[in-house]
Amino acid sequence: MDKPSLYSFTLSGLQSYFVENGLPKFAASQVYNWLYHNWNFDIESWSNVSKKVKAHILEEMDTELPKVVWHGLSKDGTRKFLVGMKDAQTVETVAIPAQSRLTLCLSSQVGCAIGCTFCHTGTMGLKRHLKAEEVVGQFVAVTKWLKENVDEDSRLTNIVYMGQGEPLHNYENVKTATQVFMEEKGIGLGQRRITLSTSGLVPQIEKLWDFPPVNIAISLHASHDEIRTELMPINKAFDLTRLFEAIKKIPLKANRRITYEYILIDEFNDRQEDLDGLIDLLDKRESKVNIIPFNEYPDSKFKRPSNNKIRWFMESLNREGITCTVRTTKGDDILAACGQLKSMEDKLNLWS
Ligand code: SAH
Ligand code: SF4
Protein backbone atom coordinates (compact mmCIF):
# COMPACT_ATOMS: atom_id res chain seq x y z
CA MET A 1 0.00 0.00 0.00
CA ASP A 2 1.08 3.58 -0.66
CA LYS A 3 2.39 5.45 2.33
CA PRO A 4 0.08 8.26 3.47
CA SER A 5 1.33 11.69 2.44
CA LEU A 6 2.34 14.11 5.17
CA TYR A 7 0.51 16.83 3.20
CA SER A 8 -2.79 14.97 2.95
CA PHE A 9 -3.98 15.59 6.52
CA THR A 10 -6.07 18.27 8.15
CA LEU A 11 -4.83 19.03 11.65
CA SER A 12 -7.51 16.89 13.28
CA GLY A 13 -6.85 14.15 10.71
CA LEU A 14 -3.16 14.16 11.59
CA GLN A 15 -3.98 14.05 15.31
CA SER A 16 -6.13 10.95 14.82
CA TYR A 17 -3.53 9.35 12.56
CA PHE A 18 -0.79 9.93 15.16
CA VAL A 19 -2.95 8.49 17.95
CA GLU A 20 -3.79 5.43 15.83
CA ASN A 21 -0.08 4.91 15.33
CA GLY A 22 0.81 5.19 19.01
CA LEU A 23 2.19 8.72 18.76
CA PRO A 24 1.19 11.72 20.86
CA LYS A 25 -1.71 13.80 19.60
CA PHE A 26 0.04 17.12 20.39
CA ALA A 27 2.84 16.29 17.95
CA ALA A 28 0.43 17.04 15.09
CA SER A 29 0.34 20.78 15.97
CA GLN A 30 4.12 20.82 16.18
CA VAL A 31 4.40 19.26 12.75
CA TYR A 32 1.85 21.70 11.34
CA ASN A 33 3.83 24.55 12.78
CA TRP A 34 7.11 23.42 11.22
CA LEU A 35 5.61 22.72 7.83
CA TYR A 36 3.03 25.42 7.30
CA HIS A 37 4.23 28.20 9.57
CA ASN A 38 8.01 27.92 9.64
CA TRP A 39 8.20 26.42 6.13
CA ASN A 40 10.94 24.12 7.35
CA PHE A 41 10.99 20.84 5.47
CA ASP A 42 14.14 19.44 7.06
CA ILE A 43 12.39 16.99 9.36
CA GLU A 44 15.59 16.02 11.23
CA SER A 45 15.99 19.66 12.30
CA TRP A 46 12.58 19.96 14.00
CA SER A 47 13.91 20.64 17.47
CA ASN A 48 10.78 20.15 19.61
CA VAL A 49 9.55 17.00 17.85
CA SER A 50 10.43 13.65 19.43
CA LYS A 51 12.74 11.14 17.73
CA LYS A 52 9.92 8.62 17.60
CA VAL A 53 7.60 10.97 15.70
CA LYS A 54 10.34 12.01 13.30
CA ALA A 55 11.28 8.38 12.66
CA HIS A 56 7.65 7.52 11.94
CA ILE A 57 7.28 10.40 9.51
CA LEU A 58 10.52 9.57 7.72
CA GLU A 59 9.87 5.85 7.49
CA GLU A 60 6.12 5.41 7.28
CA MET A 61 4.93 8.56 5.54
CA ASP A 62 5.43 10.01 2.09
CA THR A 63 7.16 13.39 2.52
CA GLU A 64 7.68 14.21 -1.14
CA LEU A 65 6.29 17.49 -2.49
CA PRO A 66 5.23 18.21 -6.06
CA LYS A 67 8.04 19.91 -8.00
CA VAL A 68 8.17 23.16 -9.90
CA VAL A 69 9.33 21.90 -13.29
CA TRP A 70 8.98 25.16 -15.21
CA HIS A 71 8.47 28.78 -14.26
CA GLY A 72 7.65 31.90 -16.29
CA LEU A 73 7.54 35.55 -15.21
CA SER A 74 5.22 37.98 -16.93
CA LYS A 75 5.93 41.70 -17.38
CA ASP A 76 3.14 42.46 -14.89
CA GLY A 77 4.73 40.30 -12.20
CA THR A 78 2.44 37.29 -12.65
CA ARG A 79 4.35 34.05 -12.28
CA LYS A 80 3.22 30.85 -13.87
CA PHE A 81 4.43 27.53 -12.52
CA LEU A 82 4.22 24.14 -14.08
CA VAL A 83 4.00 21.76 -11.15
CA GLY A 84 4.93 18.12 -11.67
CA MET A 85 3.33 15.28 -9.72
CA LYS A 86 4.85 11.90 -8.90
CA ASP A 87 3.31 10.22 -11.93
CA ALA A 88 4.78 12.97 -14.14
CA GLN A 89 1.39 14.60 -14.74
CA THR A 90 1.69 18.38 -14.61
CA VAL A 91 -0.73 21.15 -13.68
CA GLU A 92 -0.47 24.88 -13.81
CA THR A 93 -0.45 27.15 -10.82
CA VAL A 94 -0.30 30.91 -11.20
CA ALA A 95 0.79 33.51 -8.63
CA ILE A 96 -0.81 36.88 -9.28
CA PRO A 97 0.35 40.01 -7.40
CA ALA A 98 -2.11 42.86 -6.76
CA GLN A 99 -1.66 45.66 -4.22
CA SER A 100 -0.86 43.97 -0.94
CA ARG A 101 -2.01 40.55 -2.11
CA LEU A 102 -0.30 37.63 -3.75
CA THR A 103 -3.02 35.30 -5.00
CA LEU A 104 -2.39 31.72 -5.99
CA CYS A 105 -4.61 30.31 -8.71
CA LEU A 106 -4.74 26.57 -8.00
CA SER A 107 -5.62 23.61 -10.17
CA SER A 108 -7.91 20.94 -8.77
CA GLN A 109 -7.70 18.31 -11.53
CA VAL A 110 -5.47 17.30 -14.42
CA GLY A 111 -7.68 18.41 -17.30
CA CYS A 112 -11.43 18.78 -16.79
CA ALA A 113 -14.48 16.69 -17.61
CA ILE A 114 -16.91 19.58 -18.03
CA GLY A 115 -15.81 20.43 -21.56
CA CYS A 116 -16.77 24.10 -21.84
CA THR A 117 -16.37 25.13 -25.45
CA PHE A 118 -14.49 28.36 -24.70
CA CYS A 119 -11.94 26.80 -22.35
CA HIS A 120 -8.66 25.31 -23.36
CA THR A 121 -8.57 22.94 -20.38
CA GLY A 122 -12.00 21.71 -21.41
CA THR A 123 -10.62 20.41 -24.68
CA MET A 124 -8.22 18.09 -22.79
CA GLY A 125 -10.89 16.01 -21.07
CA LEU A 126 -10.31 14.78 -17.53
CA LYS A 127 -7.04 12.93 -16.97
CA ARG A 128 -7.47 12.53 -13.23
CA HIS A 129 -8.43 14.21 -9.97
CA LEU A 130 -5.66 15.75 -7.91
CA LYS A 131 -5.16 14.27 -4.46
CA ALA A 132 -5.49 16.55 -1.43
CA GLU A 133 -1.71 16.52 -1.01
CA GLU A 134 -1.29 17.61 -4.62
CA VAL A 135 -3.58 20.60 -4.10
CA VAL A 136 -1.85 21.52 -0.83
CA GLY A 137 1.43 20.64 -2.54
CA GLN A 138 0.97 23.34 -5.21
CA PHE A 139 0.72 25.97 -2.47
CA VAL A 140 3.67 24.59 -0.53
CA ALA A 141 5.87 24.05 -3.61
CA VAL A 142 5.24 27.59 -4.87
CA THR A 143 5.81 29.14 -1.42
CA LYS A 144 9.07 27.22 -1.11
CA TRP A 145 10.13 28.25 -4.61
CA LEU A 146 9.37 31.94 -3.96
CA LYS A 147 11.26 31.88 -0.66
CA GLU A 148 14.28 30.25 -2.28
CA ASN A 149 14.29 32.20 -5.52
CA VAL A 150 12.67 35.58 -4.92
CA ASP A 151 12.49 36.67 -1.30
CA GLU A 152 12.73 34.78 1.96
CA ASP A 153 9.73 36.74 3.22
CA SER A 154 7.45 35.87 0.25
CA ARG A 155 3.99 34.89 1.35
CA LEU A 156 0.92 33.84 -0.61
CA THR A 157 -2.08 35.67 0.84
CA ASN A 158 -5.09 34.45 -1.18
CA ILE A 159 -6.25 31.40 -3.07
CA VAL A 160 -8.59 31.04 -6.02
CA TYR A 161 -9.57 27.65 -7.39
CA MET A 162 -9.52 28.89 -10.97
CA GLY A 163 -6.78 26.85 -12.56
CA GLN A 164 -7.32 23.58 -14.36
CA GLY A 165 -10.30 21.51 -13.34
CA GLU A 166 -13.70 21.72 -11.72
CA PRO A 167 -13.07 21.89 -7.95
CA LEU A 168 -16.51 20.60 -6.97
CA HIS A 169 -16.03 17.52 -9.17
CA ASN A 170 -13.15 16.70 -6.80
CA TYR A 171 -15.13 17.71 -3.72
CA GLU A 172 -13.52 15.73 -0.88
CA ASN A 173 -9.91 16.39 -1.84
CA VAL A 174 -10.51 20.10 -2.43
CA LYS A 175 -12.37 20.28 0.88
CA THR A 176 -9.48 18.67 2.76
CA ALA A 177 -6.96 20.98 1.07
CA THR A 178 -9.10 24.01 1.93
CA GLN A 179 -9.21 22.93 5.58
CA VAL A 180 -5.42 22.68 5.54
CA PHE A 181 -5.13 26.20 4.09
CA MET A 182 -7.46 27.60 6.74
CA GLU A 183 -5.96 25.89 9.80
CA GLU A 184 -4.85 28.58 12.24
CA LYS A 185 -1.94 26.55 13.54
CA GLY A 186 -0.60 26.37 9.99
CA ILE A 187 -1.18 28.59 6.97
CA GLY A 188 -4.18 30.24 8.60
CA LEU A 189 -5.86 31.82 5.57
CA GLY A 190 -9.17 33.45 6.47
CA GLN A 191 -12.35 32.31 4.73
CA ARG A 192 -12.57 35.57 2.78
CA ARG A 193 -9.16 34.95 1.27
CA ILE A 194 -10.22 31.78 -0.53
CA THR A 195 -12.51 31.63 -3.55
CA LEU A 196 -13.90 28.51 -5.12
CA SER A 197 -15.10 28.84 -8.70
CA THR A 198 -17.55 26.30 -10.10
CA SER A 199 -19.17 25.72 -13.45
CA GLY A 200 -22.40 24.81 -11.67
CA LEU A 201 -22.38 21.21 -10.46
CA VAL A 202 -25.76 21.36 -8.76
CA PRO A 203 -25.52 18.27 -6.47
CA GLN A 204 -22.21 19.52 -5.07
CA ILE A 205 -23.45 23.11 -4.75
CA GLU A 206 -26.23 21.65 -2.62
CA LYS A 207 -23.53 20.13 -0.38
CA LEU A 208 -21.75 23.43 0.23
CA TRP A 209 -23.19 23.64 3.77
CA ASP A 210 -20.62 20.92 4.48
CA PHE A 211 -17.72 22.90 2.95
CA PRO A 212 -15.65 25.58 4.75
CA PRO A 213 -17.45 28.94 4.26
CA VAL A 214 -15.18 30.36 1.53
CA ASN A 215 -16.20 32.80 -1.23
CA ILE A 216 -18.15 31.15 -4.01
CA ALA A 217 -17.91 32.17 -7.64
CA ILE A 218 -20.29 30.71 -10.18
CA SER A 219 -19.23 30.57 -13.82
CA LEU A 220 -22.46 31.81 -15.34
CA HIS A 221 -21.38 33.18 -18.73
CA ALA A 222 -24.93 33.41 -20.10
CA SER A 223 -28.39 34.39 -18.93
CA HIS A 224 -30.37 32.24 -21.37
CA ASP A 225 -30.30 28.46 -21.44
CA GLU A 226 -29.67 28.10 -25.20
CA ILE A 227 -26.58 30.30 -25.05
CA ARG A 228 -25.30 28.73 -21.84
CA THR A 229 -25.71 25.22 -23.21
CA GLU A 230 -23.64 26.18 -26.23
CA LEU A 231 -20.84 27.36 -23.97
CA MET A 232 -21.17 24.84 -21.17
CA PRO A 233 -22.54 21.36 -21.85
CA ILE A 234 -23.18 21.01 -18.10
CA ASN A 235 -26.16 23.31 -18.63
CA LYS A 236 -27.99 20.39 -20.29
CA ALA A 237 -27.89 18.44 -17.04
CA PHE A 238 -28.37 21.43 -14.72
CA ASP A 239 -30.07 24.35 -16.42
CA LEU A 240 -30.36 27.90 -15.11
CA THR A 241 -33.53 27.18 -13.16
CA ARG A 242 -31.94 24.25 -11.30
CA LEU A 243 -28.69 26.15 -10.86
CA PHE A 244 -30.39 29.14 -9.23
CA GLU A 245 -32.52 26.89 -7.01
CA ALA A 246 -29.28 25.40 -5.70
CA ILE A 247 -27.55 28.77 -5.38
CA LYS A 248 -30.40 30.07 -3.20
CA LYS A 249 -29.58 27.34 -0.71
CA ILE A 250 -25.89 28.27 -0.35
CA PRO A 251 -25.41 29.33 3.28
CA LEU A 252 -24.36 32.98 2.95
CA LYS A 253 -23.13 34.91 5.96
CA ALA A 254 -24.31 38.50 6.47
CA ASN A 255 -22.93 40.91 3.88
CA ARG A 256 -21.41 38.15 1.81
CA ARG A 257 -22.21 37.85 -1.87
CA ILE A 258 -21.94 35.28 -4.59
CA THR A 259 -19.69 36.27 -7.46
CA TYR A 260 -20.92 35.50 -10.96
CA GLU A 261 -18.21 35.16 -13.54
CA TYR A 262 -19.31 36.22 -16.97
CA ILE A 263 -16.97 35.73 -19.90
CA LEU A 264 -17.90 38.39 -22.38
CA ILE A 265 -17.73 37.08 -25.94
CA ASP A 266 -18.10 39.28 -28.96
CA GLU A 267 -21.56 39.15 -30.54
CA PHE A 268 -22.47 36.07 -28.58
CA ASN A 269 -23.46 36.90 -25.01
CA ASP A 270 -22.89 40.66 -25.01
CA ARG A 271 -26.29 41.76 -26.35
CA GLN A 272 -29.10 43.76 -24.75
CA GLU A 273 -31.14 40.58 -24.22
CA ASP A 274 -28.22 38.98 -22.38
CA LEU A 275 -28.09 42.00 -20.08
CA ASP A 276 -31.84 41.89 -19.52
CA GLY A 277 -31.61 38.19 -18.67
CA LEU A 278 -28.89 38.85 -16.11
CA ILE A 279 -30.86 41.62 -14.48
CA ASP A 280 -33.82 39.23 -14.15
CA LEU A 281 -31.74 36.39 -12.74
CA LEU A 282 -29.57 38.12 -10.18
CA ASP A 283 -30.46 39.25 -6.68
CA LYS A 284 -28.89 42.72 -6.42
CA ARG A 285 -28.01 42.49 -2.76
CA GLU A 286 -26.44 39.07 -2.84
CA SER A 287 -24.65 39.15 -6.19
CA LYS A 288 -21.69 40.72 -7.84
CA VAL A 289 -20.66 40.20 -11.41
CA ASN A 290 -17.11 39.79 -12.59
CA ILE A 291 -16.82 40.28 -16.32
CA ILE A 292 -13.95 38.40 -17.91
CA PRO A 293 -13.28 39.61 -21.44
CA PHE A 294 -12.79 36.41 -23.44
CA ASN A 295 -9.11 35.50 -23.64
CA GLU A 296 -8.37 34.43 -27.14
CA TYR A 297 -5.93 31.58 -27.61
CA PRO A 298 -4.60 30.05 -30.82
CA ASP A 299 -7.54 28.48 -32.73
CA SER A 300 -10.18 29.66 -30.24
CA LYS A 301 -13.49 30.09 -32.02
CA PHE A 302 -14.68 33.09 -30.03
CA LYS A 303 -13.54 36.72 -30.02
CA ARG A 304 -13.06 39.32 -27.31
CA PRO A 305 -15.49 42.26 -27.56
CA SER A 306 -14.25 45.84 -28.04
CA ASN A 307 -13.37 47.86 -24.94
CA ASN A 308 -16.39 50.09 -25.62
CA LYS A 309 -18.69 47.09 -25.57
CA ILE A 310 -17.16 45.79 -22.35
CA ARG A 311 -17.60 49.20 -20.72
CA TRP A 312 -21.21 49.44 -21.92
CA PHE A 313 -22.05 46.02 -20.49
CA MET A 314 -20.46 46.83 -17.14
CA GLU A 315 -22.02 50.27 -16.82
CA SER A 316 -25.46 48.96 -17.76
CA LEU A 317 -25.30 46.43 -14.93
CA ASN A 318 -24.02 49.02 -12.47
CA ARG A 319 -26.86 51.34 -13.45
CA GLU A 320 -29.32 48.59 -12.51
CA GLY A 321 -27.74 48.40 -9.06
CA ILE A 322 -25.75 45.23 -9.76
CA THR A 323 -22.15 45.51 -8.56
CA CYS A 324 -19.96 44.71 -11.50
CA THR A 325 -16.23 44.76 -12.19
CA VAL A 326 -14.11 43.81 -15.18
CA ARG A 327 -11.27 41.41 -14.55
CA THR A 328 -8.03 42.74 -15.92
CA THR A 329 -6.11 40.15 -17.80
CA LYS A 330 -2.92 39.19 -16.05
CA GLY A 331 0.06 37.29 -17.29
CA ASP A 332 -1.04 37.50 -20.92
CA ASP A 333 2.49 37.35 -22.23
CA ILE A 334 3.15 33.99 -20.53
CA LEU A 335 -0.26 32.54 -21.44
CA ALA A 336 -1.20 32.49 -17.79
CA ALA A 337 -4.54 34.20 -18.25
CA CYS A 338 -7.73 32.27 -17.60
CA GLY A 339 -8.55 29.78 -20.26
CA GLN A 340 -5.08 29.90 -21.65
CA LEU A 341 -3.87 27.13 -19.47
CA LYS A 342 -2.17 24.89 -21.94
CA SER A 343 -1.47 21.24 -22.18
CA MET A 344 2.14 20.18 -21.77
CA GLU A 345 2.49 19.36 -25.45
CA ASP A 346 1.43 22.86 -26.45
CA LYS A 347 3.69 24.34 -23.88
CA LEU A 348 6.72 22.60 -25.23
CA ASN A 349 5.87 23.84 -28.69
CA LEU A 350 5.18 27.38 -27.58
CA TRP A 351 8.02 27.93 -25.19
CA SER A 352 10.84 25.77 -26.42
N1 SAH B 1 -13.84 24.90 -13.49
C2 SAH B 1 -14.09 26.04 -12.69
C3 SAH B 1 -12.84 26.76 -12.25
C4 SAH B 1 -11.74 26.88 -13.24
S5 SAH B 1 -12.02 27.92 -14.62
C6 SAH B 1 -15.04 26.98 -13.41
O7 SAH B 1 -15.27 26.80 -14.60
O8 SAH B 1 -15.55 27.87 -12.75
C9 SAH B 1 -11.82 29.54 -13.93
C10 SAH B 1 -12.50 30.64 -14.73
O11 SAH B 1 -11.81 30.89 -15.97
C12 SAH B 1 -13.94 30.29 -15.07
O13 SAH B 1 -14.82 31.35 -14.82
C14 SAH B 1 -13.80 30.00 -16.54
O15 SAH B 1 -15.02 30.09 -17.15
C16 SAH B 1 -12.77 31.03 -16.98
N17 SAH B 1 -12.25 30.80 -18.34
C18 SAH B 1 -12.01 29.62 -18.93
N19 SAH B 1 -11.61 29.83 -20.22
C20 SAH B 1 -11.60 31.16 -20.44
C21 SAH B 1 -11.27 31.99 -21.56
N22 SAH B 1 -10.86 31.50 -22.71
N23 SAH B 1 -11.38 33.34 -21.41
C24 SAH B 1 -11.76 33.86 -20.22
N25 SAH B 1 -12.07 33.13 -19.13
C26 SAH B 1 -12.00 31.79 -19.23
FE1 SF4 C 1 -13.62 22.89 -16.77
FE2 SF4 C 1 -13.92 25.37 -15.77
FE3 SF4 C 1 -12.71 24.95 -18.16
FE4 SF4 C 1 -15.33 24.58 -17.93
S5 SF4 C 1 -14.22 26.53 -17.66
S6 SF4 C 1 -13.89 23.19 -18.97
S7 SF4 C 1 -15.46 23.75 -15.88
S8 SF4 C 1 -11.97 24.31 -16.18
- Which atom in ligand 2 lies closest to the alpha carbon of residue 118? 5
How does pLDDT run across 80-112, given as a tens digit for each residue? 999 999 999 999 999 999 889 999 999 999 999
Q: What average pLDDT score do residues 205-227 get?
A: 97
Q: Measured between alpha carbons, how far is 266 from 303 in angstroms, rounded to an integer?
A: 5
Q: What average pLDDT score do residues 125-148 get?
A: 98
**pLDDT at residue 339 above 70?**
no
Q: What is the pLDDT of residue 346?
A: 40
Name the residue at shortest CA distance from atom 5 of ligand 1.
162
List the catalytic residues.
Answer: 92, 338
Task: Express as a percent the part of the chain with pLDDT over 70.
Answer: 93
Q: Measured between alpha carbons, how far is 54 from 104 in angstroms, rounded to an integer?
A: 30
Provide the whole-model pTM: 0.94
Q: What is the pLDDT of residue 122?
A: 84
Domains and CATH numbers, the chain: 6-60 (1.10.150.530), 67-350 (3.20.20.70)
**pLDDT at residue 329 above 90?**
no
Q: What average pLDDT score do residues 226-241 get?
A: 98
The helix or strand, by DSSP H or E, that contains position 230, with its residue range, turns out to be helix 225-231
Number of H helices, E strands in the chain: 12, 12
Q: What average pLDDT score do residues 222-243 get?
A: 98
**pLDDT at residue 351 above 70?**
no
**What would you report as the CA-atom Rg of the chain, rounded to the nearest whole angstrom?**
21
Lowest mean pLDDT among 86-90, 131-135, 219-223, 333-337: 333-337
Name the residue at shortest CA distance from atom 22 of ligand 1.
339
Name the residue at shortest CA distance from atom 7 of ligand 1.
199
Q: Measured between alpha carbons, how far is 145 from 88 in angstroms, rounded to an integer?
A: 19
pLDDT level of residue 347 (50, 70, 90 thresholds): very low
In the structure, which protein residues have their CB atom closer than 6 angstroms to any atom of ligand 1?
Answer: 118-119, 162, 166, 197-199, 219, 261, 263, 292, 294-295, 338-339
Higher pLDDT, 316 or 337: 316
Residue 296 CB neighbours (<10 A) = 16
Q: What is the pLDDT of residue 275?
A: 97
Q: Give the SS3 label for residue 80.
A: strand
Q: What is the pLDDT of residue 334?
A: 64
Q: b or e along 183-218 (b: 16 or more beta carbons within 10 Å of the residue's beta carbon)?
A: beebbebeeebbbbbbbbbbebbeebeebebbbbbb
Q: Measured between alpha carbons, how far is 34 from 27 in angstroms, rounded to an integer?
A: 11
Q: Measured between alpha carbons, how far is 56 from 14 in angstroms, rounded to an integer?
A: 13
What values do phi and psi take at 35, rounded to 5?
-75, -55
Q: What is the pLDDT of residue 260?
A: 98
Decide if 121 contacts 109 (C-beta within 8 A): no
Ligand at minimal distance from the CA of 235 is 2
Residue of 201, 219, 294, 332 best suited for mutating to test ligand 1, as the one with most atoms within 8 Å of CB: 219
